[in-house]
Structure 1
Amino acid sequence: MMTEKVTHPSAAETRARLGAQMRTRVPAETHAELNTTGRPDPVQVLADETPSRLQELVPLRHSRMLTSPFAFFRGGAGVMAGDLARQPNTGLTAQLCGDAHLSNFGMFASPERHLLFDVNDFDETLPGPWEWDVKRLAASLAVAARQNGYADKQARKIVLAAVRRYQLAMHAFAELGNLAVWYARVDVDELQAELGADLSKTMSKRLDRTVKKARGRDHLRSLNKLTAVVDGRRRFVADPPLLVPLSQVVTDRSEEEAAAQVKGMVRQYSGTLPPGPRELVRSYDFVDMARKVVGVGSVGTRCWVILLIGRDENDPLFLQVKEAGASALAPFLPRANSGSQGVRVVTGQRIMQATSDIFLGSQTVVGIDGVSRDFYLRQLQDWKGSLPVEAMIPKGMRLYGELCAWTLARAHARSGDRIAIASYLGHDDAFAHAVEAFAQAYADLNEQDYARFAAVARRDLFLGRPHPDAPSDATPEPLTQS
């Protein structure tokens, strides 16, 4: 008796079907929406972030955000996190950068001493809807293009090209095996060779200078730039408020007691590293420590740099110890991290980056105020570099946006269901046009938020002194937690 053969769908077919089903439930066109219903005051969102920060640095954070709408956008990850949570959600998740704007991509050295390009900031990383990162990147392109004075048509083309690159890259990764996806990376030397014909002489020279500058950012450069020999001992040179040595920060105990605590912390941290890097860290001796200001949105969080010396002074190692607070995305995701925030950052970075710093680790530390805080550690400078957004011409930003989009797709493909995401995206341009429309609408909203922020600043609050143009009868609006 003949029996009919039953054919079962493959795992890949099942995953592709899932993506198609989600597109039916949440059509690609709906991503053009920018729902602001119930949106809180963006200034109040920023106010709610200040109590946990070093209060003397809060004015510096806000002054940096006042520099431009793009700088405000960079510092407003918490503002946009709430906005993204109000938009359509595909239900397909990946490990998110959480703050995937243009300036959070860049170059760094791999352990094999190759110069790579990748996502380089993970303070807000969490698993979540993959499209949140895409929309953050697209909006940053729209904001940056406006700031650089590009024509509206040029700005739209730049955003469209980036979203389409993400779409095409995800389809390409969906066709690859798991190992091939995991090994994919952007080698900067190979990238320069590939871009050759697409770059003008000016753009090519600018890229060459950026690459050369990145390779010059090593520990010896930091040694000469940040430290000096004082009374026969190597010390960090004070440059307040940007760099403040340990001796000027600690007032409730002797410098020797504080140094002993730091040494203990470094040893505990080294114990969290794998064999090899653990022994390497322990082969160095502690010399000095200083508080350092970094970034825009991060200003006010606790960040330290530690100088360690190996066989002699020509063998330094600088570690950055950066506070890890809760992700800005956490209030809007159902399964947000509730453990060590340092572990959260390290885990997200190792998942998303093609290769990570061998010194990347985490540690929980009880501060001089008796409060327990989570930190993550990495090298301060190791061929790190980025292209200046404000100096890009339209063609350069388009190429750079596409590079960031490909990199983001690869990072998502490592943790998310790349086949389902590719199926959701489809091969048409509906998603790209929708996200481009969202990005332009969000750039409008960001300009309104920036104007609101600047108006409050003019009435004496962020910078701690009245703005010269403020009317004498203006009533300051306090930036405090509500």
Structure 2
Amino acid sequence: MIDESLPKLSTAPIPVQTHILRQEDRLARGKALRNIAARKAHKGWTPPTNRPDPVELLMENSRGRVAELLPIRYGRMLASPFAFYRGAAAIMACDLAQTPATGLTVLADGDCHLMNFGGFATAERHVIFDLNDFDEATFAPWEWDVKRLAASFVIAGRSNGFAAADCQEAGWLAAQSYRQRMAEYSEMPVLQVWNDAFDVDAIVENMTDKDMKRFYSKKLSGAVERSTHEKEFAKLTFSAGDVPRIVDQPPLIFHYGDGRDATMREYAAKALETYKASLIPARRLLLNRFEVVDYAIKVVGVGSVGTFCGILLLMSGNGDPLFLQFKEARRSVLEPYCGASPFGHAGERVVAGQRAMQAASDIFLGWTTGPGEQHRHFFIRQLSDAK
């Protein structure tokens, strides 16, 4: 008998791209699309007279979130203009929907700002630099990610007191780098583009400044060291008899103290079983060597605050710890303007986006549906892997 609670792969069609065209045909098509959206049409943006109230959009985006955590979200957004920008992906999606577009769609990140890039370890223990947040990933105009990324450099510069000219130059350089790299990719074999990765070790090794090279080498070694679950275990847990427990650090890490802990642990164990079905068989074999011993709610980021997020502590028979992070997956903020995602499960949407866009993804990346009446969608990954 088929377990209806297990995650199911989507069968909806995914938009067909034009990568099977020859390079010269793609170049010709791109130039022709300038008649639809000229390059200079992207130069500026003026708020339309019927623009929705940004605060109302923000409040709408907060519906269904954990009410007790919303003050933390708003407090973090109020810290600076850039902090507000980080948490305002829904507002920018609404604004981007009113801007010129060529009609070419891609699997977009949906929240492509500079703080959503960083270093992390691959399964082979190489540290690479790449996108690391895919909560809003879906099919959308290619221009939107580029604009959100370029704008983030300008706003971050302003928030740090940089001169206006320097902020503008940073935005231009971000767009220029994108254009140049895409031109290089257009001449490379498809598989080479797919496997391309930004190797942090190689960058540090090629540094000519000895002091800078020494500084970043030490920092890189520390990042790899922090990826070990043993270090997280020492920092985040305490011994409760023979069973380790996650330490409460309210309001950012906490258990429900009203008798719901046992139920939540049971829910976590059930959700983990359905999550395993989203992994390849080899990963399931590995995960089966661990069992859930505790959970905790953990507040993360800016835009994610208020969604149901937390950490799971798993232990092997030998006492080896494994921390997994679960994050609630909701409808992408792009979907009201781009149409529903072809993935019926929001967690699968996030996982599919991450697997497609990252050069190398977490070996434990998967999705599940939470038990209980709300049936929240989640995606799961390792808590920290040299992030």
CA distance in 2, matches of 1:106, 1:97: 15
Secondary structure of the equivalent of 2:324?
strand
* Alignment length (residue pairs): 365
CA contact (8 A) 1:107 1:116 kept: yes
Pick closer, same or farther for the CA change 1:231–1:42 going to 2, 3 Å. same
Q: After the TM superposition, which segments of 4 or more aligned residues of structure 1 sit over 4 Å from their partners?
A: 203-206
Bigger radius of gyration, 1 or 2?
1
Corresponding residue number in structure 2 for 1:214: 223
Aligned residue type for 2:251: P
Question: Which has the larger share of helix?
Answer: 1
CA distance in 2, matches of 1:70, 1:299: 16
CA contact (8 A) 1:330 1:337 kept: no
Deviation of 1:232 (Å): 3.2
1:16 aligns with 2:27: yes
Structure 1 vs Structure 2: percent identity of aligned residues?
A: 42
Corresponding residue number in structure 2 for 1:307: 313
CA distance in 2, matches of 1:276, 1:125: 26
Pick closer, same or farther for the CA change 1:179–1:28 going to 2, 3 Å. same
1:190 aligns with 2:211: no
CA distance in 2, matches of 1:181, 1:291: 38
* 1:405-451 deviation digits (Å, cap 9, x = unpaired): xxxxxxxxxxxxxxxxxxxxxxxxxxxxxxxxxxxxxxxxxxxxxxx
Corresponding residue number in structure 1 for 2:4: none
CA contact (8 A) 1:35 1:87 kept: no
CA contact (8 A) 1:92 1:130 kept: yes
Aligned residue type for 1:226: L
1:100 aligns with 2:112: yes
1:347 aligns with 2:352: yes
TM-score normalised by length of structure 2: 0.90
Pick closer, same or farther for the CA change 1:205–1:250 going to 2, 3 Å. farther
Aligned residue type for 1:69: P
1:39 aligns with 2:51: yes
Corresponding residue number in structure 2 for 1:52: 64
CA distance in 2, matches of 1:353, 1:233: 36
1:136 aligns with 2:141: no
CA distance in 1, matches of 2:357, 2:144: 15
CA contact (8 A) 1:94 1:129 kept: yes
1:285 aligns with 2:281: no
Q: Which moved more, 1:72-81 or 1:211-220?
A: 211-220
Q: Which moved more, 1:259-268 or 1:104-113?
A: 259-268
Pick closer, same or farther for the CA change 1:61–1:210 going to 2, 3 Å. farther
| CA RMSD between the two structures | 1.8
CA contact (8 A) 1:267 1:282 kept: no
* 1:162-217 deviation digits (Å, cap 9, x = unpaired): 211111100000001111101110111011123x13x694x556544542332132
Pick closer, same or farther for the CA change 1:57–1:216 going to 2, 3 Å. same
**Structure 1 residue corresponding to 2:39, chosen from 28, 31, 34:** 28
**Structure 2 residue corresponding to 1:63, chosen from 75, 97, 106:** 75
CA contact (8 A) 1:33 1:87 kept: no
Deviation of 1:149 (Å): 1.2
Corresponding residue number in structure 2 for 1:232: 242
Corresponding residue number in structure 1 for 2:5: none
Deviation of 1:250 (Å): 4.9
- Consecutive unaligned residues in structure 1, runs of 5 or more: 1-9, 385-482
Corresponding residue number in structure 2 for 1:383: 386
TM-score normalised by length of structure 1: 0.73
